[in-house]
Structure 1
Amino acid sequence: MPIQCVAHRGCSGAAPENTMAAIELALSDSNVTWIEVDVQLSRDGIPFLIHDYTLNRTTNGRGPVKDYTWEQLLALDAGSWKSKRYAGERLISLDDCLEAIQGRLKANIELKTHGNKYPGLEDKVIEVIKKHRMEHEVVLTSFDLRSLSKVKENARSLRTGLIIDQLPKDLFLRLQMLQCSFLSINYKRLTAELAAKAARRGLDVMAWTVDQVKVMRRLAGLHPDLLICTNRPELWPSAFKAPNLVNGRNR
Structure 2
Amino acid sequence: MLTRTALMGLAGLASLTLTGHGGAPPPPEWGPGPLTVDSLPRVVHVAHRGGALEVPENSMSGLMAAYVRGTAQVLDADTRLLGDGTVVVMHDATLNRTTTTRGAVRELGARDWQRVRLRPSAALPGDWRSERPPTVAEVLDRFGGRVVLTLEAKDSDSLPALAAMIRARGLTRSVFVNSNDPEVARRVHRLGLLSQLWRSAAQLRTDRPERWASFVDLLDVDHKARDADLVRAVRSGIPRVWAHTVVTPAQRDRALALGCDGIITDAPGRVWGAPGGSSGGLPQRGARP
Give TM-score scaled by structure 2 length: 0.73
Whole-Å separation in 2 of the counterparts to 1:78 and 1:213: 30
Aligned equivalent of 1:108: 150
**Percent identity over paired residues:** 24
Aligned equivalent of 1:160: 195
Aligned equivalent of 2:9: none
Give yes or no for the alignment of 1:142 onto 2:182: no
Contact kept in structure 2, 1:27 and 1:104, CA below 8 Å: no
Contact kept in structure 2, 1:214 and 1:239, CA below 8 Å: no
Contact kept in structure 1, 2:219 and 2:238, CA below 8 Å: no
Aligned equivalent of 2:85: 45
Contact kept in structure 2, 1:8 and 1:209, CA below 8 Å: yes
Aligned equivalent of 1:188: 224
Cα displacement string for residues 156-184 of structure 1 (whole angstroms, at most 9, x for unaligned residues): x312122111215342254146x112111
Whole-Å separation in 2 of the counterparts to 1:148 and 1:164: 12
Change (3 A) 1:150 1:218: closer
Alignment of 1:1-251 (within 5 A): 2-82=42-122, 85-113=127-155, 119=157, 121-153=158-190, 155=191, 157-165=192-200, 166=202, 167-176=204-213, 179-189=215-225, 191=227, 194-195=230-231, 198-199=234-235, 201-223=237-259, 226-237=261-272, 240=275, 242=277
Q: CA deviation at 1:226?
A: 1.3
What letter is aligned with 1:229? I
Q: CA deviation at 1:9?
A: 0.4
Whole-Å separation in 1 of the counterparts to 2:233 and 2:48: 25
**Structure 2, gaps ≥5 residues long:** 1-40, 279-289
**Structure 1, gaps ≥5 residues long:** 244-251
Q: CA deviation at 1:240?
A: 4.3
Whole-Å separation in 1 of the counterparts to 2:98 and 2:165: 24
Contact kept in structure 1, 2:51 and 2:268, CA below 8 Å: yes
Contact kept in structure 2, 1:79 and 1:90, CA below 8 Å: no
Whole-Å separation in 1 of the counterparts to 2:61 and 2:82: 21
- For the aligned residue pairs, the C-alpha RMSD in angstroms reads 2.6
Whole-Å separation in 1 of the counterparts to 2:197 and 2:272: 29
Select the structure that is richer in strand: 1
Aligned residues: 235
SS in 1 for 2:96: coil
